Every structure is written in structure tokens, then in C-alpha cells.
Structure 1
């Protein structure tokens, strides 16, 4: 009974997830795709034995293609052991990749490798092939047929596919152990979150001219709003912004989010405030249901969590005296920041179709993302001048492609970065590099007048 209760609890947890959460959970679990392949292998097994038992394909084939019972049994039993051996080697290789990622880079990167379609399909092919061989051996019976054709043919084809897949998996694992591939995949994941969370969900409700709304919000927040507290503790994993906008319009209220995706809150922590025209009461559980809480951060909507994984790779690489890896991570991070600047409307005000303010988000401008990305690397690199030069080089690239509204933030961050290295200018070449890059950033951001030569 305890096992059934545990299974029921497990299944209920999945049925309560939103469509996006369920998709993410299935994608980042190793068991889902292999289970699908196992189901497919049973279907293939049923078709194979139907062909050999019912339609007697082995008896109707030419003698050269017909395989007798003893040879079929020996073939299937041998291939079962061989497939199991390949599957064991594959899992060992996966553990090696996990150990390398955890020790050298970050344990948070493991899910990127697990979630890759290639990894899941490879495991699916191995497990599906093994179950086909195993149950073929189990149900093989000479009382139904003396010669077989379909079963041994499919077994040989699956064994050949498994062998080819194993070779492909070695190449796949080696490619993932290369930093370029790993950081590129993390950047792609982050860009997809930006596209989903910013462009598709939030940006349609934003306006370009925020000056009137700023004044209105300043007056509004002087009044004390009513608060809704969280009913559980954990990380905010998901917020249904579309539904919040619809419900806020129905109730004719203005909502301010006190915390955002990725923040950790306690139970009873106020997570949002709201203002209504006539101090009307609202359905609090309805709004709490639009927030998803969990024990850990996820990549579903949490753009900062994905950025932090790239940051962690860069910081660990600096600590391991691996400048090339750090440089690669900084470059990918710079491209991601440039993408955020170009496609993201970072103002915190969401309005409905009638132009009425409905939701006030936590204000996070481009300087916030710059600091949480490159700022952490700058801090942990301490007196590593080479890393500082790489950060300035990336800032120069960002400045040449960023939205003009972010020029001031880029320039201020560049100055902040160089100030921290002034005491470490031991060589004239370091000074020259810093000054040249800083001047290029000044030109790109329109701050040439503010440029000051640094160092001796």
C-alpha cells in the first residue's frame, strides 16, 4: 500500500504541473524517452512474432533467409548480452561526463547534457533494443514455428543500430566535453528563454514611452496597497503573466510583483501588492495559483539562472587557470547580453489592450544583467588582467550591437571594470590594451568626452 501511495503522489505531482512545466520536467528526466522507446520495442516485438507465428514468414522464405529455431535462439541470446554490454558502457560514459562536469565546471550543467535530444534518443535506442532482445528470447517457442525470418532480421538490425549509436554517442560525449559545444548549448538555451519569457509573454503588454507611467506609479505607490502572501516556501519557478493580466483586468486592479522568477520566498512572505479603485476584495487563491513554487530553480522562465550557469563556468575556469575556457564563456555571455539588449523591452510596466496599467514588475534594466553576468566574473577574477581585457573586449562588441538606450549602462560598467584594475597595471602593454578598448567603447557609446587615459 505504501508503494501505491508513493506512486499516486508521484503521478499527482505531474498532473498538477502546467503544460510548460510538464514539458520541461519530461525533457530533463532520463526515463521518459527510454520508456517511449521501450513501448515502441514491444509493439515491434508483437509485429515480429505475428509475422513469424501467424503468417509463417520463416516457412515461406527461401532457405537462405529462413533461420531455424536453434540458430534463432542462439542469435537472440547472444545479441541480448551484447546489447546489455553496450548499454552498460554507455551508462559508464555518462557517469564520466557527469563527474567531469560537476568537478570542472558546474553540477548545474548536468541537466543541459541530460536534456539534449541526442542523449535521450541514444539511451532510448539502447534500452528499447535490449528489451526487444530480452523478450524475444523469452517468448521464442518452436511449437509455433520451426523457422523464423522477421524476429532474427529485426534483432540483427537493432543490434547494428545499437552499435552505430554507440559510436555516435562516444563522439557526442566527447563533443560535450569540449567547452565550445557546452557553452554554445547553454547560450542557445538562454536565448530560447529570453524569446519565450520576454518576447512572447511579456513584451506584447509593454509600451515604449514609460514617462507618464512612471509618474503615475510614483503617485500610486505612495498609497499603501493590499498584499497577498505566499502559501508555501521555495523558489518561484513560473509565473503565468498572461493569466495575471487577464485576471487583473477583470478585477480592475493594479498588481505589483514584490518578487520575481528565481527568487526564494518563505511561506507568508508578501509576493505581490495590489491597488483597487474601491478597495474591493479579490479572490486571493486565484492569484496564488498563477505562481509555481519549487525546491530548486529551473530554466523554464528563469533567464538569470541560465546566465548564472555561464558565469559559473567562467569563474571556475579562472580559478582553474584555464583562460581559454573563461574567454569562451565570456564571449558566449556577451552575445547573450547583446541579444537581451536588442530584443528585450526592459521597462517594468505591463498594460492591457485598453492601455491601462495592470502589472508592475521588478525593475531590472540592462545594467542589472551586465552586473549579474560580467560583474561577478570581474569580482572573482581579482587581479587577473587578462580576464579584465577580455571583459572589455566583450563590452566593446556589445556596445557595437546593443540598443542605444543601453549605451550609458555599458559605458558605466566599462569604467567600473577598469577602475578595479588600475593598481594592477604592472606593464605598459596592459595599460595600452585597457586604454585602447576603453576608448573604443567610449566611441561606440557616445562618451568620448568622458574618456580619461588610465595608468602611467
Structure 2
């Protein structure tokens, strides 16, 4: 609007003023619209930069990424039954596939890899996972031919089409990186004594962990449409995600009774939300957090609330005897 007004003043002269009566009206309307847009922009910026709104927006986007990564790309290939015993790989020669460039593994096209493995009767064992930093020449995965008598010629260049390596980590398939963003926010907040932001980040992490439990079976075996295991990925259980989410926060809050109690309270809420299958993992992490607390001197009220929260967690996880 400002540039428009300048051009109007530049090209108008005294002989044209009477003929262009619409120009003042258009200029005024644009100026009012611009002022309104600027006011809206300031209001939106202030609202968006509020901690609750910002973390909520981040969590919403993170949950969408988790839905895509786990439910739509991995769960469709994961086995429906649990494998309690290690997978027996074929006895033939294992063939390595090497990484061709250094960087972060950003995406892996699991569906295309599984289809290719089915087409050539292969079994693939991933040595790296999305989010890992890899160096040129390191091994990405091994593959075996299920039938050593009939081995197709494998063009390893095709494998590299299905794995993308970039200069930075992304949220596309990296669930750990999604959690780490909130962990970093919590740690930086603790460093600046912004406890409200730290507590809010802890709450958002717990909701992300709950979502991961909802959509994942935590199986490392991926099968084709015939139910044959075609890929074995690095084994990552709920306890690993729990450690990724809260271990660093526990470390930096080991002398802060308020944050430690909030962390234990959040673990109790998480236990009630996700069910008995994960009680052992949550209780073990709670014990790890409690024993790692380093403040020797606490007021009576601090001890009272601390033990009360820990007892509530023991009830939620059915660990009353261990609490005693």
C-alpha cells in the first residue's frame, strides 16, 4: 500500500487530479486494510510465541509425523504375533551394503525395500536406523538370499534409491528426533529457571510417548504381504523411548525437587493411560529417577510430597510391594 501511494504521487500531476477521483478512495482503503493486517500480525505473533501454544503446535505436528512414520509405514509390515526368539537368518553368505555419503539417515522407503526383497527372495538386516549419523563406507545393512541354490544378481545401486541421507535430522521418520526437540526445550528452560516451560515440555513428551504406544507393536520384524519376514530393523522398545524422553531431563533436574516430583507425577499419568503392559518399564525408570536424585537435604514437606507421589505411582503400576 505504501509503494502504491508513492507511485500515485509520482505519476499524478495537477491536470490529472480531477480525473482520478477513485485514487484517494483506493489509497485510503488500502491503508486501512494494511493497518488491520499489521495489528492482526502483531496479535498472532504474541499469541503464537506463548509457550503453551507453541508446544501444543509442535506436539500436533509431531503426532502427525508419528502417525505417518509408525502406523502407515512400519505397522503395515510388522508381524502381528510377537517374536520372543531371535530371528534365524539364512545360512548362506551375507552381503553388506555400504553407505556412499556421510550424513544423517533421513528416510528409508521400507515398502519398496520389502517389495524388492520379496522379488529377489532376500532377507535384510538393518544395521542403522533413521536419525543415525553415518560415515561414507560404513555398513547400512546386510542381506541374505533365502534360497542359496537360486541367487538372483543384485544391483546394490537400487538399494541406495530407497535410503535418503542428508545434512541434518528431520521429523519425517525420526521419532527420537521428535522427542529430542521437547527434551532440549525442557533442559534449556531449566537452565534459565523457567520451570513452567520445562513442566509443559515434560507433559508434551508424555503425550507423545502415549501416542507411540497406541500406534506401535514394538516389533523389529517386517514382513511382506505373504507374511514372510523380509527385514529386521534395530530393536527399539518402549523403555528406549522412555529413556530418550526423560533421561536427560532427570539428569539436569537431579537437584531440583519440584521438577523431579513433576516427572514422577507425569510417569504416573502415563502409566494410567497406556496400561499394564508397560508398568515394569515405567516403575523401573521411576526408581532410577528417585535413586538419582542428589539433594541430600530436604524439608519435611518436600519429603512428604515426594513419597506421596512415588506411592501413587506405585499404585498406578501395581508395585506397592517394591515401593515398601
* TM-score for the superposition, normalised by structure 1: 0.64
State the distance in 1 between where 2:105 and 2:74 align. Answer: 17
Change in Cα spacing, 1:320 to 1:283, as seen in structure 2 (3 Å) is: same
What CA deviation, in whole Å up to 9, does each residue of 1:250-305 have, x standing for no partner? 12111121111111101111111111122544221111111111111112222222
Match of 1:409 in 2: 281
Counterparts of residues 320-359 of structure 1 (less than 5 Å): 320-359=192-231
Partner of 1:269: 138
CA distance in 1, matches of 2:81, 2:302: 43
| Structure 1 position 418 matched with structure 2 position 287 | no
Q: Alpha carbon RMSD of aligned pairs, Å?
A: 2.7
The aligned runs of 1:310-389 (5 Å cut-off) are: 310-389=182-261
Q: Distance in 2 between matches of 1:222 and 1:423?
A: 55
1:352-380 residue CA offsets vs partner (Å, 9 max, x unmatched): 11110011111111111111111110012
- 2:114 is matched with 245
Distance 1:161 1:314 in 2: 40
Determine whether 1:449 maps to 2:317.
no
CA 365–156 in structure 1, closer or farther in 2 if over 3 Å, else same: farther
The runs of 5 or more residues in structure 1 that have no matched partner are 1-78, 82-132
Q: Is the 8 A contact 1:341 1:403 kept in 2?
A: no
Q: C-alpha separation between the residues in 2 aligned to 1:162 and 1:179?
A: 28
Aligned residue number for residue 194 of structure 1? 66
In structure 2, the gaps of 5 or more residues are: none
In structure 2, do the counterparts of structure 1 residues 255 and 147 end up closer, same or farther at CA, with 3 Å as the change threshold? Answer: farther
Q: Is residue 75–residue 216 contact of structure 2 (8 Å, CA) maintained in 1?
A: yes
1:224-268, Cα deviation, whole Å (9 max, x unpaired): 621101111111111112212211211211112111111110111
Check conservation: 1:425, 1:431, Cα contact below 8 A: no
CA distances 1:406-448 after superposition (whole Å, capped 9, x unpaired): 2211111111111112653522322222322222222222222
CA 1:442/1:155 → structure 2, altered by over 3 Å: closer, same or farther? same
- How far residue 161 of structure 1 moved from its aligned partner, in angstroms, is 3.1
Shift of 1:339: 1.6
Residue deviations 1:34-61 (CA, integer Å, cap 9, x gap) = xxxxxxxxxxxxxxxxxxxxxxxxxxxx
TM-score of the two chains, using structure 2 as the length reference: 0.89
* Count of aligned pairs between the two proteins: 320
Tell me, in whole angstroms, the C-alpha distance in 2 between the residues paired with 1:226 and 1:404. 41
Aligned residue runs from structure 1 range 159-308, under 5 A: 159-211=31-83, 214-215=84-85, 217=87, 219-220=88-89, 225-277=94-146, 278=148, 279-308=151-180
Cα offset for 1:399? 0.3
Contact residue 236 and residue 261 of structure 1 kept, 8 A: yes
Using a 3 Å threshold, how does the CA distance of structure 1 residues 326 and 149 change in structure 2: closer, same or farther? same
- Is the helix fraction higher in 1 or 2? 1
Return closer, same or farther for 1:289/1:433 CA change in 2, 3 Å cut-off. Answer: same
